[in-house]
Structure 1
Amino acid sequence: MTMTALDVIDEALRQPAIGRRRDLTSRLSRLRGRLADPAIRVVVVGGLKQGKSQLVNALLGATLCPVHDDVASAAPAVIRHAEQPWAAVVRPGQQRLEPVELDRIAEEISGGQVVRAEIGVPRAVLTGGLVIVDTPGVDGLRSEHTSRTLAELAEADAVLAVTDALTELSPAELQFLRFATTICPNVLGVLTKTDLSPRWRAHLERNRMLVAEAGLAIPMVAVSSVLRERALATSDQDVNAESGFPALVSYLENTVKAQAGLLARRSASEAILAVTEQVSLGLRAELSTQDPSSIGGLEDAQRAAELLRRQSARWQNMLMDGMADLMSDVDHDLRERTRIILRHTDQAFDKADPAKTWDAYCDWLADKLTDAVLRNYDWTVERTHWLAQRIAEQFDEESRGTIPDLGLRDPATVLERMGALLTPDLAPPGIANKVITGLRGSYSGMLMFGLLTSLMGMPLVNFVSVGAGAVMGAKTLKEERDAQLKRRQAVAKTAVQRHIDELVFQVGKHSRDALRQVQRRLREHFTEQAEQLQDNLSDTIRRARELASADLAARNQRNQSIAEEINTLVALRQRAQALALTS
């Protein structure tokens, strides 16, 4: 009787050697739940601005995902078949789906206020249980968006790895492809934006060569979403063929949907082989300590326990010191960025009249502050992941890289609460004020020079006193105009300073709260990890002590038990290998 993927996973979960590893049983249980789901999940992944969302829109013939230059997908969008179109979102802190209008779903996805979006549309390509998942862009392996993408990748039956045709694959993209294939072996490379690159064919061949040199078996296709959209709008089959999408649709129909069972068996086979390899290594290590000539296993276990105690103190100190430094550095980075903006503001207002340039300046300031805050946020995410990775490296090799979802909150809500820069009183003096100022200056000038000329027998009002009054009036008017300009410049600078101070205060408070939350998550995660390692070591020490005092018969009995478990795992590996080859 041929075993199914679920049968082999169930058999693996029944193995005592695997059951002792909670992390591995959790992984297999998640895989079983995904394979039991009739939906076939195709996850679209790639770097920022590589054309993932536009690819999904063009494939489905509907604008469902954000594609503008100044926005990006901030949350996964799960798109499935439905007789009637519908859309819903899951917001932070909630579990239920909140219905939204379909024409607003792209705005919701890019707004950063949703955890996940669910969409149903009537499309032939989605029939048969196919589900398309558009994910946020990845940036290496340590960004916040990457964490959300990896969570979706773990549930994938197949992956569309997207890169644009403007350049060849970067080392970071190859690293991510290598990492993705370890999670889901069913990957198709998709080269987008061929309409923008005359050399896309050369880049396609170069990418295929780079993938082959990396030891990855990933087929690749090239597409143009722009041509696909034009073909759908005009029903032009020639343009559709030129877009390259028929090859992509054929892959989804003939490889993903038609061979869904094979893809599921391949995923199950890869997972079981990885799990059994880890467990077998532990059993062989224990078997090597059963030799009566190597009673040193107890001393080794005790040394490992002492090392773990020292590591626990080290990672806790590293977490506290690292977070304190990070909070200080994040605050300094934000203040430094805003100081640069203030210097540019001072230079601009020293030369310009705020009353004439205020509206344009407000737009410039909003863009610069938003960019500064988001760059500060991205740098915070990068530093936080670096710190988490450093702490993870304090554990053994097997535990390295296990970093939890840090859940850093996007500061977009803070920017929304801040609102626009308030406009101060920048109105220039009116006509009446100018007339009075001019008359005041001209009167004093005319009177002074009139008195001087009267000593020479001339009337008080004469051509000299009138001319002098006109000159003095113009000079007074200019001085008043310059003083008013200086006042408006000072008022504008003060208003900007207050706005930026408030922004730094609000964003700084948000960052400190977010980092404290991250600190708690890391402390809980690594504490749990250390406790698991401590439990394993305690169990190892207990067994080593028992073996040290046990007689030869007891050792032989344990040797036989370990050998039987290893043989069972070998048989399980053989069934997992055969599973991937089953047609």
Structure 2
Amino acid sequence: MTAPSAGKPTLPAQVKQARESLLATLRELDPQVAKWVEEQRRARSTKPSVVVVGETNRGKSSLVNALLATPGLSPVDAEVATATYLVFDHAEDWLAKACYPGQLAPVGFPLEELIRWVSAAHELPEGQLPPRYVEVCGPVPLLERLSLVDTPGVGGLDSAHGELAMEAAANATALLFVVDASAPFTATELQFLRAMADRVETVLFALSKIDQFRGWREVLDADRALLAEHAPRFADALIHPVSARMFEMAGRAPNEQAATMLREKSGVAELQGALQELLVGRSVMLGEANTLRALSSALAEQHAILNAERRALSSGESEAEQLRARRDELTVERRSSTRGWQLKLRGEVQRTRVELGHEASRQMRDAQSYFRQQIDSADREQLVQLPQQVDMALQTISQRVSGQLAHRLNQVTDVALAELFSAEELDIIRAQFARGGGPPVVLRPPDKRPPTAEDKLLVFMGVSGGAGAAKLAAAPLAGFALFNPVVLPATIVIGLGAGWWMARTRRHAADKQHTKQWLVESIADARSTLDQLVAEQLIEAEQQLALALDDALSRRIEAIEAELKEVDKTIKMDAQERSKKLALVTKRIKDVAEGRERAEAFLGRIRTLRDRARAE
């Protein structure tokens, strides 16, 4: 990267200057809209998230504890449940809660009981369901600037766990990949990194357990060579040698001098600094990009409004006639229940149901075929672990279907809107929806019922289209939405899980034939549940989209009525007054168009930097 030339502002400084200038322009046109953009900027969280992944027994959880300077916090347990993440965030006092996104209220519990909630070797408290993830908050300085997600390592990156870890990492600001100093990268680790190359912008590496292996420097060199050959995108990435054990020993050192030496040699402080330096600055730029996107949307709305005002000043009565005709057309569309946009909306929703049904069937068939092969080659111990692998596969399928459903509903909405409004009108509608206080379509979870033995088979998982499971990471579509003005983003709440609970509540037979029968029943139950949930969500989506679009029609009709009143006023103006106002409006149109181009140009530069970082 070349150094900035002397006297030339950096990109963050240029973006800040542009943001203030565009806000000033917007304040002159519509102070309320400018206030909304400022509120969005202040309310937007800029805290980055780091997902920690690695093979089993690589010292991952020990390193997380060292980074948080809290020994024993994340359970170091080879039998941690594969379906449960640990999300660490900041709070003034320590607290822990089991989370069931979109389905059940979080369940708080004492921190000393954490291992009972996340380890397959321990029983859950009586009457409790397995959580989708566990959130632990406390007064840790590092967590004031970023959140940390400890993914389970059971199963290995060559199994379904690798796919689930990949989904979590793809939604994070950065990935911290942990390997140990016993040997160079394995084939499965390199395969995982190759798969991640196009999905995660920022990857850091930690070489753990350097105190236990004297030849760790040779392993470090071998790791660099393997990255250059098999995952060249990460060839220049820093690999941080660390020892969580040395960092923990520093807390028991006989004096401060020894403690300081141990902490320095552990490499943990250096890794903490690298995480903060690398991520916090990028997080600020992401926040600025989101503000620029809001400004661009607001300026597009003002451009459409000013164009309508210019037509009124230029055309007079002919513009009034066109507005009346458009008002009458939209009024008919709003009153009709059998024409145009409603039929298009209904047809697109049905098409979505069919497409998702086919895709879910294919993925379930693939999962069943894969696990039948695994059963045939498994020994007794592997059969015992298989239900956890099945559960992860079902969660991954659920996550995929959720993301596909969110994306398809955005497409459905675009089709329905294009049926109703012109391109200029859409600029206004998009901005109105953005300021509506939240997405018009928020799909509800299935109705809650008292848990029964059958209900406990289903451990629901929530997935949000912009933002993943709660604080696990950002929404899967967040990066897409940042650079693509998607209208009506939908929040999807669907999910399932069968294998994990069945492994805990039913004695697992080592007989392969019985296991195959169990697999067929589990996947059939999961498929049935997923179909039902998707159908319920689409029914709800169709109803809410219809209401949202009807509301958009009403707003547009009201706006046309307001424009007609302005046209009447302009008709009564004398020629000199009209000419003066027309000149002012024309200048404002030019300023707004240039402002929007400026915002889009900076968004393009930020996007280019992001893509360049991915390529390096």
TM-score between both structures, scaled by the size of structure 1 = 0.55
Cα deviation per residue 1:2-44 (whole Å; 9 max; x = unaligned)? xx99x999999999969679xx96x975763466xxxx95521
8 Å contact kept, 1:164–1:191: yes
CA distance in 2, matches of 1:255, 1:341: 41
1:277 to 260, 280, 296: 296
Q: Which structure 2 residues correspond to residues 191-230 of structure 1 after superposition, within 5 A?
A: 191-193=205-207, 197-200=220-223, 221-225=238-242, 227-230=243-246
8 Å contact kept, 1:18–1:279: no
> Shift of residue 59 of structure 1?
1.1
Output the amino acid matched with 2:114.
I
Return the structure number with greater relative CO, CA threshold 8 A, min gap 6. Answer: 2
8 Å contact kept, 1:75–1:117: yes
8 Å contact kept, 2:240–2:267: yes
CA distance in 1, matches of 2:389, 2:83: 17
> Shift of residue 233 of structure 1?
2.4
CA distance in 2, matches of 1:507, 1:163: 32
1:398 to 485, 506, 515: 485
1:314 to 340, 347, 352: 347
Change in 2 beyond 3 A, CA 1:240/1:417: closer
Would you say 1:44 and 2:70 are equivalent positions? no
CA distance in 1, matches of 2:277, 2:361: 55
8 Å contact kept, 2:205–2:237: yes
2:130 to 91, 94, 113: 113
> Shift of residue 277 of structure 1?
1.0
Where 2:496 maps in the other structure, the secondary structure is coil
> Shift of residue 220 of structure 1?
6.7
Query: Match for residue 581 of structure 1?
Result: none
8 Å contact kept, 2:98–2:107: yes
CA distance in 1, matches of 2:283, 2:358: 46
Would you say 1:375 and 2:393 are equivalent positions? yes
CA distance in 2, matches of 1:144, 1:18: 45
Where 1:119 maps in the other structure, the secondary structure is strand
Q: Which structure 2 residues correspond to residues 126-205 of structure 1 after superposition, within 5 A?
A: 126=142, 129=144, 132-134=147-149, 136=151, 160-163=174-177, 166=185, 173=196, 175-177=198-200, 189-193=203-207, 197-200=220-223
Query: Match for residue 247 of structure 1?
Result: 270
Query: Match for residue 424 of structure 2?
Result: none
8 Å contact kept, 1:56–1:65: yes
> Shift of residue 275 of structure 1?
0.5
Larger Rg: 1
8 Å contact kept, 1:41–1:133: no
8 Å contact kept, 1:228–1:239: no
> Shift of residue 98 of structure 1?
1.6
8 Å contact kept, 2:176–2:206: yes
Cα deviation per residue 1:138-185 (whole Å; 9 max; x = unaligned)? 99xxx887887899x6xxxxx55424575599676455445xxxxxxx
CA distance in 2, matches of 1:150, 1:12: 37
Where 1:394 maps in the other structure, the secondary structure is helix
Change in 2 beyond 3 A, CA 1:60/1:547: closer
Change in 2 beyond 3 A, CA 1:101/1:246: closer
Which protein has the bigger helix share? 1
Where 2:403 maps in the other structure, the secondary structure is helix
> Shift of residue 274 of structure 1?
1.8
Where 2:221 maps in the other structure, the secondary structure is coil
Between stretches 414-423 and 10-19, larger displacement belongs to: 10-19
Identity %: 14
Where 2:204 maps in the other structure, the secondary structure is strand
CA distance in 2, matches of 1:13, 1:527: 35
CA distance in 2, matches of 1:277, 1:541: 24
CA distance in 1, matches of 2:228, 2:150: 26
CA distance in 1, matches of 2:517, 2:352: 30
8 Å contact kept, 1:374–1:411: no
Between stretches 557-566 and 333-342, larger displacement belongs to: 557-566
> Shift of residue 99 of structure 1?
1.6
> Shift of residue 312 of structure 1?
0.9
> Shift of residue 91 of structure 1?
5.0
Change in 2 beyond 3 A, CA 1:410/1:65: farther
CA distance in 1, matches of 2:278, 2:360: 49
> Shift of residue 568 of structure 1?
8.8
8 Å contact kept, 1:86–1:119: yes
1:419 to 492, 506, 511: 506
CA distance in 1, matches of 2:176, 2:78: 17
> Shift of residue 512 of structure 1?
1.9
CA distance in 2, matches of 1:564, 1:518: 47
CA distance in 2, matches of 1:16, 1:561: 11
Query: Match for residue 60 of structure 1?
Result: 68
List alignment gaps of at least 5 residues for structure 2: 1-15, 121-128, 158-162, 180-184, 209-215, 415-483, 603-616
Query: Match for residue 513 of structure 1?
Result: 529
Output the amino acid matched with 1:105.
L
> Shift of residue 553 of structure 1?
1.5
Query: Match for residue 109 of structure 2?
Result: 99
Output the amino acid matched with 1:134.
V
Change in 2 beyond 3 A, CA 1:160/1:331: closer
CA distance in 1, matches of 2:364, 2:246: 48
CA distance in 1, matches of 2:132, 2:392: 19
Where 1:284 maps in the other structure, the secondary structure is helix
> Shift of residue 276 of structure 1?
0.6
Q: Which structure 2 residues correspond to residues 67-82 of structure 1 after superposition, within 5 A?
A: 71=80, 72=82, 74-80=84-90
Where 1:223 maps in the other structure, the secondary structure is strand
Change in 2 beyond 3 A, CA 1:571/1:503: closer
Between stretches 361-370 and 560-569, larger displacement belongs to: 560-569
> Shift of residue 288 of structure 1?
4.2
Change in 2 beyond 3 A, CA 1:534/1:174: farther
CA distance in 2, matches of 1:559, 1:114: 63
TM-score between both structures, scaled by the size of structure 2 = 0.53
Between stretches 509-518 and 130-139, larger displacement belongs to: 130-139
Output the amino acid matched with 1:505.
E
Cα deviation per residue 1:313-335 (whole Å; 9 max; x = unaligned)? 23211233235435654664565
CA distance in 1, matches of 2:283, 2:366: 47
Cα deviation per residue 1:421-463 (whole Å; 9 max; x = unaligned)? 458xxxxxxxxxxxxxxxxxxxxxxxxxxxxxxxxxxxxxxxx
8 Å contact kept, 2:47–2:147: yes
Output the amino acid matched with 1:271.
N
Cα deviation per residue 1:383-427 (whole Å; 9 max; x = unaligned)? 45335433433343632693524331332454236522458xxxx
8 Å contact kept, 1:193–1:224: yes
CA distance in 2, matches of 1:508, 1:229: 46
Where 1:193 maps in the other structure, the secondary structure is strand
Where 1:98 maps in the other structure, the secondary structure is strand
Where 1:191 maps in the other structure, the secondary structure is strand
Change in 2 beyond 3 A, CA 1:418/1:14: farther
Where 2:493 maps in the other structure, the secondary structure is coil
CA distance in 1, matches of 2:267, 2:284: 29
CA distance in 2, matches of 1:523, 1:79: 36
CA distance in 2, matches of 1:66, 1:30: 38
Cα deviation per residue 1:347-388 (whole Å; 9 max; x = unaligned)? xxxxxxxxxxxxx96544334455355435534543453354
> Shift of residue 279 of structure 1?
1.8
Alignment coverage as a number of residue pairs: 446
Output the amino acid matched with 1:230.
M
List alignment gaps of at least 5 residues for structure 1: 154-158, 179-187, 213-218, 346-359, 424-491, 578-583
1:385 to 400, 403, 410: 403
